[in-house]
Amino acid sequence: MNNTGIEALKSKLPREVWTQDQDIIAPWLSEWRDKFFGQTPLMLMPRSTDEVARAVKICAAHKIPILPQGGNTGLVGGSTPQGEVLLSLRKMNKLRDVSAPDQLLIAEAGMTLQSVQEAARDAGLKFPLSLAAQGSCTIGGNLSTNAGGVHVIKYGSAKSLCLGVEAVLADGSIYSDLSRLRKDNTGYDLSRLFLGAEGTLGIITAASLRLVPAPAGIMRALVALAGPDDALTLLGRAQNAALAMFEVMPRSALDLVIKYIPDHRDPFDGPHPYYALIDWELGRDDEDTRAPFMALLEAAIADGLARDVVIAQSDTQAAQLLSLRENMSAAQKHDGGSIKHDVSVAVSDVPKFLARADALLARMIPNCRPVGFGHMGDGNIHYNVARPIDMDSQTFLSNWDRVQTAVHDLVSDMGGSISAEHGIGIMKKDDLAIRADPVKLALMRTVKSALDPDNILNPRVMI
Ligand SMILES: Cc1cc2nc3c(=O)[nH]c(=O)nc-3n(C[C@H](O)[C@H](O)[C@H](O)COP(=O)(O)OP(=O)(O)OC[C@H]3O[C@@H](n4cnc5c(N)ncnc54)[C@H](O)[C@@H]3O)c2cc1C
């Protein structure tokens, strides 16, 4: 490591902004899955855009690599430093502005997603990005990974909720586009460059976010089904402006949550093979929008498509139903881990993908337990494969690379994506290099070297 550069950072930045105390740094060097472990000579915790810019200028002068970090909930190794200076945005957590008439909010990058949601709610509006890590992940991380979550079917991913960003570039200059405009066609939309860039093109310090009218309420139902084909049929019938979530899970996933996560129970009297969890947003005239949802569920029961239905009768019950879905990854951790995939195919291909992937895995590792769950409404499945009951975790997880290659080959064959919402990071970098269109890869490299010629911004991820 460049000791002169590190000493320059320490001497030129306020004492409160940096630490080398390993007790403070340690929690930020490993991640949620315990798959990546890192190290850093220095953690920076700037409190303002100006402090970020000053830090980056020093790093640029000494060619010191920097890794920006938000909540450290990313799942692809992109937020774990391996010798880079760790630049945490968590102290930049102020709400700069919220405007109900403009339906927008300007947040600093370190605000958690949940605090952004709360600020929108206080203004009588809604910020519709929603995911299980929302109490910890930051808006800067959400934009840098173009996070998805459970409401993409209605509101799109993080990208579509961003009007513009403020970002510190690799030379320490500040790009400022905290737009309050809905329409602006004055040249390239450069803010978009930073969305989904995983910290490789600039450090997002603040963002202007689009808010939407808050629905009058939400009806949430868990529908028991025979399998993915029936889920797809139900999704087709449910298509409506009120449909805000359509998540699916097999019985095996529910079993794991009930077994490992305290206070979770089966909402039905008995087991069913498959489930869809649906959110239906209510308009101002409550009855107008409630009726079609009830009609949809009643028809599904009447013609045998649905085997049973539970409709949440209170906020508590609604939260319990969502918690079953949100704890699926956590439950798999207790079960000895799983080989994970975050893939997407065309929505109509989801059942075919699941059938082909299950058959493939049965051939590769007999008796392994594929648990494919997630965002069927967006064609995005978290295809997590659990170990055979009689195989120890370590032996099973040693198959990660060959299983991932086989699943990604299948996804590619079906015209899908090997990273639907979590990004590329370290984990899928080699895969991207092999599978991406060469013209796209070359263009990505051109953009990267134009914005970061010395390759100091998150230099090991993505490309
Ligand atoms: C239980 C659980 C459930 C999850 N569910 C979902 C889900 O449903 N949908 C989904 O999309 N993701 C999900 N995730 C993944 C994760 O929460 C998202 O990727 C999230 O957007 C990461 O935000 P973060 O602040 O934690 O970013 P980090 O993990 O800190 O960073 C992620 C990447 O962004 C970069 N970065 C972070 N902040 C900045 C910044 N300000 N400027 C530039 N680059 C930056 C980092 O360098 C890194 O490459 C889940 C994670 C967990 C643990």
Is the shortest distance between the CB of 461 and ligand 1 below 6 Å? yes
Distance 70 CA to ligand 1 centre (A): 7
- Bridge partners (DSSP) of residue 380 are 344, 375
Distance 434 CA to ligand 1 centre (A): 24
pLDDT at 456 over 70: yes
Is the shortest distance between the CB of 110 and ligand 1 below 6 Å? no
Among 322, 325, 240, which residue's Cα sits nearest to residue 282? 240
CATH number for the domain whose boundaries are 95-213: 3.30.465.10
Q: Quick one: pLDDT at residue 336? A: 84
Both tokens of residue 437?
Answer: 């269109």
Q: What is the mean pLDDT of residues 91-98?
A: 98
pTM confidence score:
0.95
Residue entry with tokens 């990273």: 419
Distance 366 CA to ligand 1 centre (A): 34
* From 49, 79, 127, mutation site for ligand 1 pocket: most ligand atoms within 8 A of C-beta: 79
Strand positions, DSSP E, 20-169: 43-44, 66-69, 85-88, 95-99, 104-108, 125-126, 162-168
Tell me the C-alpha to C-alpha distance, in Å, between residue 386 and each of 53, 266, 361: 45, 21, 11
Fold classification of 217-329 (topology level): Alpha-Beta Plaits (3.30.70)
Is 383 within 8 Å of 372 (Cβ atoms)?
yes
Is the shortest distance between the CB of 231 and ligand 1 below 6 Å? no
Among 280, 290, 299, which residue's Cα sits nearest to residue 233? 299
Q: What is the mean pLDDT of residues 62-68?
A: 98
Ligand 1 atom at shortest distance from the alpha carbon of 148: 11
CB-side neighbour CA atoms (13 Å) of 235: 26
Q: Quick one: pLDDT at residue 222? A: 98
- For 346-370, the pLDDT digits (tens) are 999 999 999 999 999 999 999 999 9
- For 208-255, the pLDDT digits (tens) are 999 999 999 999 999 999 999 999 999 999 999 999 999 999 999 999
Q: What is the mean pLDDT of residues 412-429?
A: 96
pLDDT band at 286 (very low <50, low <70, confident <90, very high): low
Is the shortest distance between the CB of 56 and ligand 1 below 6 Å? no
Altogether, the residues listed in the chain come to a count of 463
Q: Quick one: pLDDT at residue 2? A: 80
* From 33, 36, 73, mutation site for ligand 1 pocket: most ligand atoms within 8 A of C-beta: 73
Q: How far apart are CA 283 and CA 217, in angstroms?
A: 7
Q: Quick one: pLDDT at residue 284? A: 78
Q: Which helix (H) or strand (E) holds 8?
A: helix 3-12
Q: How far apart are CA 226 and CA 238, in angstroms?
A: 17
Distance 241 CA to ligand 1 centre (A): 28
Q: How far apart are CA 299 and CA 49, in angstroms?
A: 55
Distance 145 CA to ligand 1 centre (A): 6
Among 156, 178, 175, 159, which residue's Cα sits nearest to residue 167? 175
Q: Quick one: pLDDT at residue 1? A: 62
Give rounded-to-5 percent helix, strand, coil for the chain.
40, 20, 40
Tell me the C-alpha to C-alpha distance, in Å, between residue 63 and each of 59, 360, 442: 6, 46, 24
Q: What are phi and psi of 390, to 5 degrees?
A: -95, 15
Distance 148 CA to ligand 1 centre (A): 10
pLDDT band at 179 (very low <50, low <70, confident <90, very high): confident
Distance 136 CA to ligand 1 centre (A): 9
Ligand 1 atom at shortest distance from the alpha carbon of 139: 25
Instruction: Give CA 77 to chain center in angstroms.
Output: 13
Q: What is the mean pLDDT of residues 283-310?
A: 92
pLDDT mean across residues, the chain: 96
Q: Does domain 336-422 have CATH number 3.40.50.1820?
A: no
Residue type, 87: L
- For 108-155, the pLDDT digits (tens) are 999 999 999 999 999 999 999 999 999 999 999 999 999 999 999 999
Ligand 1 atom at shortest distance from the alpha carbon of 89: 41
Is 255 within 8 Å of 186 (Cβ atoms)?
no
Is the shortest distance between the CB of 79 and ligand 1 below 6 Å? yes
% the chain with pLDDT above 70: 99
Distance 194 CA to ligand 1 centre (A): 14
- Domain ranges across the chain: 3-90, 95-213, 217-329, 336-422
Residue whose CA lies nearest to ligand 1 atom number 21: 142
* From 51, 144, 381, mutation site for ligand 1 pocket: most ligand atoms within 8 A of C-beta: 144
Tell me the C-alpha to C-alpha distance, in Å, between residue 443 and each of 189, 385, 462: 16, 34, 13
Q: How far apart are CA 320 and CA 277, in angstroms?
A: 12
Q: How far apart are CA 432 and CA 197, in angstroms?
A: 14
Q: How far apart are CA 165 and CA 151, in angstroms?
A: 22
Ligand 1 atom at shortest distance from the alpha carbon of 205: 41
Contacts of 438 (CB under 8 A, 6+ apart): none
Q: Is the dihedral of CA 145, 151, 152, 158 positive or negative?
A: negative
- For 299-331, the pLDDT digits (tens) are 999 999 999 999 999 999 999 999 999 999 889
- For 231-241, the pLDDT digits (tens) are 999 999 999 99
The domain 3-90 is placed in CATH, from the list 2.60.120.380, 3.40.47.10, 3.10.450.50, 3.30.43.10, at 3.30.43.10
Residue whose CA lies nearest to ligand 1 atom number 19: 74
Residue whose CA lies nearest to ligand 1 atom number 41: 140
Among 104, 209, 222, which residue's Cα sits nearest to residue 156? 209
Does this chain's domain 217-329 share its CATH topology with 336-422?
yes
Is the shortest distance between the CB of 69 and ligand 1 below 6 Å? yes
Helix (H, G, I), strand (E, B) or coil at 311: strand
